[in-house]
Amino acid sequence: LFPILLHFIYSSGTSYTTLPSVLLIGPSGAGKTALLTLFERGPLAQQEKPTVSGPVARTHTSQVASAVELAVSTDNGTPTSYRVDLDAAGAAARRFLLVDTPGHPKLRGAAIAHLASATPTVNLSPSNTSASSSTETSKSKLKALIFLVDAAALADSDSDALASTASYLYDALLALQKRFHRRSGSRAPASVPVLVAANKLDLFTALPAALVKSQLEAELGRIRKTRSKGLLDSGVGADDVVGAAAGEEGEWLGDHGSDKFRFEQMMEFDVEVEVMGGNVVGDGPGAEKWWKWIGERV
């Protein structure tokens, strides 16, 4: 397995070993860094003049993943807003890591390959800038996956944004689908739900969430047809392809008997996929719905 290395900035003496994580992936430019920063600033976002002293707004150069420690409370039944300062509120909080992965296509493979393992963990390697000279990594259990999409870029039919976004999503969903069969003993692996977050809905050019969903489904359907045809063209016998597609470890995403791909087909493999619109900057539905989705799953 290829570990996801984290350049981790210690903000306190807390041990992160047991914190679960939520992985944030998506094409570069989708807004992953912006979302991470928004959630990290959470309680400060409300203040008129945010006085941020910590290492926030790290528009890193996307060579290594970075993570922020966040907290949510579900004491009252529903998750608290990301704007709530849980320390001040004295609420019992559930802490987790939001892990931002590099969007560069060359670096995606490692993150995705990892998703296929039965017990995906995120390896956290302490920052070498930390006072600690420790080089040991700690493991964090993966609880959920957020795939961030630039809904404005998808609306531009001249760009290849739809094709490239869908192909990234295909690989991620296929990896999770493959996990389904990797049982240890009689237990199926704990499911990793997926949130497809359609970002930048503050822009009037952006596709609404329902269209992001249908366009991605159509494109994912095209990709699975092309990929199975690719196997045929590559000289693999037709029987092998049918076998591979029908087999447990096939490259065919979703329901084998279906003509059209639908996200609901992923339920067959215990993968819940939800598409929700929002925005990180500007006026729009905001990011609160995404935060609540996370809060219900960590």
Single out the residue of 182, 174, 178, 197 nearest to residue 277, CA to CA.
Answer: 197
Q: Which residue has the tokens 């017990």?
A: 119
* Shortest reach from residue 103's CB to ligand GDP, in Å: 5
* Shortest reach from residue 26's CB to ligand GDP, in Å: 6
Amino acid letter, residue 2: F
| Position 31 contacts ligand GDP (CB under 6 A) | yes
**65 DSSP assignment:** B
* Shortest reach from residue 107's CB to ligand GDP, in Å: 12
Write down the number of H helices and E strands in the chain: 8, 7
Single out the residue of 152, 150, 164 nearest to residue 196, CA to CA.
Answer: 150
List binders of ligand GDP among 206-265 (CB under 6 A): none
Residue of 3, 20, 29, 55 that binds ligand GDP (CB under 6 A): 29
List binders of ligand GDP among 108-167 (CB under 6 A): none
Residue of 4, 21, 23, 32 that binds ligand GDP (CB under 6 A): 32
Distance of CA 161 to the CA centre of its chain: 18
Residue of 144, 280, 294, 298 that binds ligand GDP (CB under 6 A): 280
Residue 278 CA to residue 35 CA, distance in Å, equals 11
Nearest residue to ligand GDP by CB is: 31
- Burial of residue 136, with CB atoms counted within 10 A of its CB: 0-12 exposed, 13-18 middle, 19 or more buried: exposed
* Shortest reach from residue 146's CB to ligand GDP, in Å: 11
Amino acid letter, residue 225: K
| Position 98 contacts ligand GDP (CB under 6 A) | no
| Position 285 contacts ligand GDP (CB under 6 A) | no
Residue 156 CA to residue 269 CA, distance in Å, equals 32
| Position 281 contacts ligand GDP (CB under 6 A) | yes
Residue of 6, 8, 33, 143 that binds ligand GDP (CB under 6 A): 33
* Shortest reach from residue 240's CB to ligand GDP, in Å: 38
| Position 79 contacts ligand GDP (CB under 6 A) | no
Which helix (H) or strand (E) element contains residue 187?
none
- Specify whether the CB–CB gap between 224 and 177 falls below 8 A: no
| Position 202 contacts ligand GDP (CB under 6 A) | yes
Residues in touch with ligand GDP (CB under 6 A): 26, 28-34, 59, 103, 199-200, 202-203, 279-282
